[in-house]
Amino acid sequence: MSDYKKTLSRRDFNKTSTVALMAATLGTLGANKMASAQTPASELESNYLMELALDVADQLDAGHTRIAPVTGGSFSGPRLKGTVRDGGADWITQVSGHSSLDVRITLDTDDGAVIYMTYKGVVARSDNGLYWRVTPVFNTASEKYDWLNHIVCVGKNKQIEGKVAYDIFEIL
């Protein structure tokens, strides 16, 4: 067996170096594209939709899930106002260090419309305190409130004595 050594001419070396440089440059551009793809195109905007305050009865223990009957409440905001019907509930499931919420309620507006509202949510403790957020979804046959069927919302808990309460925001 013989040792094979190939020597490169200056021209071959320059060609090889140019190809390597181009590959490195394209790789860097690709990384920059990935970094810029992870940069938001715009800031998230929202409008205040309403305050929701629920009356909740004692929780029923169903193992990993607790059920909190919703017995009433109220909601009000710039475009809608009314009461929460008795008969809804909050299913609170313990999941790996946090609580997962599943709530279903019926809203009656002051002008007679019926709105079905559901929301999923997360409640977790952190170094910064309690993280409690929900994502409401609305369904209604009311022409006046049909716009609720077509929006995305986020809610943040708030403290109201004796209530489960949220400020709800429409995401624009």
Task: Write down the domain spans for the chain.
Answer: 1-39, 46-171
Distance CA 40, CA 103 (A): 31
Q: Cβ(163)–Cβ(55) under 8 Å?
A: yes
% of residues, the chain, pLDDT over 90? 70
pLDDT band at 56 (very low <50, low <70, confident <90, very high): very high
Entry pTM: 0.76
- pLDDT of 22 higher than 90: no
What's the CATH code, domain 46-171? 2.40.160.20
Which residues lie below 8 Å from residue 89, measured CB to CB, with a gap of 6+? 67, 68, 69, 70, 103, 104
* pLDDT given at position 97: 87
**Tens-digit pLDDT profile for residues 95-145:** 888 999 999 999 999 999 999 999 999 999 988 899 999 999 999 999 999
Residue type, 125: R
For 52, other C-beta atoms within 10 Å of its C-beta total: 27
pLDDT band at 9 (very low <50, low <70, confident <90, very high): low
